[in-house]
Structure 1
Amino acid sequence: MKKLQWKHIRWTVLVLLLTSVCIFRFVSGAGEFYARFIYPTISCFLSRLAAIVPFSLCEILVVVTIVGLMLYPIVAFRRKQRWKSIVRNEVEILLWIYVWFYWGWGMNYFRDTFFKRAEVVPCSYEEKRFKQFLSAYTDSLNAAFVQEIYISQSALERTVKQMYAEVPEKFGLTQPKDFQHPKYSFCNRLYSGVGVLGYMGPFFDESHVNHELLPVQLPFTYAHELAHLLGVSSEAEANFWAYQVCIHTTDSNIRYSGYFGLLPYVIVNTRSLLSESEFTGWFSTIRPEIIQQLYDKQAYWDIRYNDLLGKLQDLVYNWYLKSNQISSGQKNYAQVIGMVLSLPESWW
């Protein structure tokens, strides 16, 4: 009798939590309420728990769940369990994981857009405005150039967190905590093989950075992943905050990483918006040393990239983003330029 009562309670709670995910997904403003008033508490608890150990709890959970789901039917059959009971139990486990994903972090996908929180209208393309940005950005990039970047991990974290703490409240970012540190992955070689420089672990609110990152990439990537931990779901917005946080620091290493980190997205936008001759003319104004760094970075990751795994990862991640209201999929990364252009230069 007690077993039946517990089962009934468990499924009732599960259904209520699943219903709440639907509410936060489809009811206007609910996702923003979660991000501002619920997520900060959940994030603090989960990331504090994760901080107890130096390794990734998120990866352990995923591996244990996959192995458990594979082994459970074998054990259950040996114990004479019915296949319907086995399927029902496995479905229940997957549903609890689904709920954990969204309540732990994933409902940040349903929050108000960056533009609504910034109280600005997304800018439409204007050639004059874009070229002004391009000129100012290129001048700053060239002036910020650093040949050899070195900054300790502790100094990087301290500086970036201090900058995030200054972000205006209207943007709705969670305040970073001293105990939140980026984790390295057990599967780092696999991530390098598919071109992943870092990722957000939603089950224990852990940010992860690829430990093969080049020094010039580390500050920008760390700031990007920290933005996700602070409640940002959009890849474009995470790039926006990584760029803004890095270029507003007084540390020359972090500042240059910010400009350099934005460069690939500037190139993508410039190539699509300007003529070939205009693009070539602009590209030639970038310092040769920076262009060489760009080529060296590409060569560095090309050696580690696995084409088959990379295409599979692109396909899966593209589907994942679109299923969570990022309609542009992986193209969302490059949309950071529209965010930069939508705010006045003095907004910070």
Structure 2
Amino acid sequence: MQQRFAIPPVVRQWIFPVVIVLLIWWLQQFPGIIETYYAQGIYPYIGATLRWLFGWLPFSVGDALIAVLFVFLLFTLVQTIRRKKQYAGKLGWLKHLVQQLLKWLLWIYILFECIWGVNYYRKGSAYLLQLQPDLYTTADVDTLLNTVNARLHSLSKDSIAIRQSLTQDRQQLNEMVTVAYVNASQQYSWLALEHSSLKPNLLGPLQSYTGYGGYLFPFTGEAQVNFHAPAFTLPFTVSHEVAHQLGFGSESEANLIGYLVGKQSTSALLQYSTYAEMHDYAVSDMWVRDSVLAKQRYKEVPYMLQLHRKEMRQWVMEHKHPAQQWLNWIYERYLWSNNQPQGLQSYNRVVAWLIAYGKKYGWHQL
């Protein structure tokens, strides 16, 4: 009787996860399907469920999971080394360890894509707002700067109220931004926010040395924010991270959504924080095009914002650390691998979105 071909067990355990990864990569080629059936179909339930499960806890479950994973990896390494005689060959233990790690990484990647990562490949703002950010001129950037600066000057007329409402309190910021999203959802139904999940990082003040104001932990749906950053930046940072929670993966689109929510907010502080951030992005863009004009526009902002920018520069200098360049290097490659070829410059692409918005709806609508 002829013996049937048997697939080795080592190969057999890789077939299923590899097939799933290939299917995910295939699905990424169809933004329309992702937008309709995932981003606006399945994901809103996934996100709301995660925020409902973990949002009420006062600490970051995501940070705790990272700590547990680190301990687990260390335990696995120690156990594998202790039992290295059980594996064939001189480096059999190392081969086994690498295989185990790769298998775990593969399943983590699959879980990441299914829970949130596929959002990087949706149609997003271009489809929902019927906007197409095209090439723009230096004059367009200058128009944007002047428009945003006018909003800042208007808001700064009530500078006392803004200063008095500055806060680093998580609950107050959470309420401020949640109300803003509820208001914005009356115009944009896809911004409806069910349950909130805003968390401080377990690193506490040490997070300031990473150079990041916030991030989304996709496996728990928690928006992590560095509440030790200058208070005037925090409202927009929170708004940006909530945009990620709602499925906007691209950094430029999260900035755009944060802007749309902020500009319609009833909170003068959130409006101020939003326009201050947009002005920074526009000045940065202008600097590359015309540094002399950029310096001029930078100085034209209200005196209150000049003071806040001075505070921000001092805070950045106090928290500079050599590790930041390596963290930036890692993060840039993360962005590259998730459909954001501009890397860290992806954040600044919000300038193109704002100009497209201004040209379509009128600069007075910005």
Instruction: Describe the SS at the equivalent of 1:26.
Output: coil
Deviation per residue, 1:307-343 (Å, 9 max, x gap): x111111111111101111010000111111111111
Query: For residue 286 of structure 1, what is the aligned residue in structure 2?
Result: 301
Q: Is the 8 A contact 1:114 1:171 kept in 2?
A: no
CA distance in 2, matches of 1:22, 1:287: 48
Query: For residue 4 of structure 1, what is the aligned residue in structure 2?
Result: none
Query: For residue 177 of structure 2, what is the aligned residue in structure 1?
Result: 160
Q: How does 1:265-304 map to 2 (within 5 A)?
A: 265-274=281-290, 276=292, 278-304=293-319
Structure 1 residues 340 and 288: CA distance shift in structure 2, 3 A: same
Superposition deviation, residue 251 in structure 1: 1.7
Query: Structure 1: which amino acid aligns with 2:177?
Result: V
* Greater mean deviation of Cα atoms: 51-60 or 211-220: 51-60
Query: With structure 2 as the length reference, what TM-score do the two structures score?
Result: 0.83
Q: How does 1:1-348 map to 2 (within 5 A)?
A: 14-32=17-35, 33-79=37-83, 81-82=86-87, 83=93, 84-145=95-156, 146=159, 148=163, 149-150=165-166, 153-167=170-184, 173=190, 175-178=192-195, 180-274=196-290, 276=292, 278-306=293-321, 308-343=322-357, 344-345=361-362
CA distance in 2, matches of 1:157, 1:15: 40
Q: Is the 8 A contact 1:108 1:232 kept in 2?
A: yes
CA distance in 1, matches of 2:38, 2:86: 40
* Greater mean deviation of Cα atoms: 134-143 or 89-98: 89-98
Superposition deviation, residue 212 in structure 1: 0.3
Q: Is the 8 A contact 1:118 1:170 kept in 2?
A: no
RMSD (CA atoms): 2.8
Query: With structure 1 as the length reference, what TM-score do the two structures score?
Result: 0.87
Superposition deviation, residue 228 in structure 1: 0.6
Instruction: Describe the SS at the equivalent of 1:217.
Output: helix
Structure 1 residues 338 and 13: CA distance shift in structure 2, 3 A: same
Q: Is the 8 A contact 1:55 1:183 kept in 2?
A: yes
Q: Is the 8 A contact 1:46 1:205 kept in 2?
A: yes
Instruction: Describe the SS at the equivalent of 1:54.
Output: coil
Structure 1 residues 51 and 113: CA distance shift in structure 2, 3 A: closer
* Greater mean deviation of Cα atoms: 296-305 or 128-137: 128-137
Superposition deviation, residue 40 in structure 1: 1.2
Structure 1 residues 150 and 205: CA distance shift in structure 2, 3 A: same
Superposition deviation, residue 232 in structure 1: 0.9
Q: Is the 8 A contact 1:39 1:231 kept in 2?
A: yes
Instruction: Describe the SS at the equivalent of 2:349.
Output: helix
Larger Rg: 2
CA distance in 2, matches of 1:9, 1:274: 59
Deviation per residue, 1:9-57 (Å, 9 max, x gap): 9866534532332233233424323211121122122222222532112
CA distance in 2, matches of 1:326, 1:256: 28
Query: Structure 2: which amino acid aligns with 1:219?
Result: P
Superposition deviation, residue 132 in structure 1: 2.9
Give 5+ residue unaligned stretches, structure 1.
1-6
CA distance in 2, matches of 1:275, 1:193: 29
Q: Is the 8 A contact 2:145 2:279 kept in 1?
A: no
Give 5+ residue unaligned stretches, structure 2.
1-9, 88-92
CA distance in 1, matches of 2:176, 2:338: 31
* Greater mean deviation of Cα atoms: 158-167 or 327-336: 158-167
Q: Is the 8 A contact 2:184 2:191 kept in 1?
A: no
Report percent identity of matched pairs.
Answer: 25
Instruction: Describe the SS at the equivalent of 2:212.
Output: coil
Structure 1 residues 256 and 138: CA distance shift in structure 2, 3 A: same
Q: Is the 8 A contact 2:131 2:353 kept in 1?
A: no
Deviation per residue, 1:73-129 (Å, 9 max, x gap): 321343554325444333222222111211121111111153233222323214444
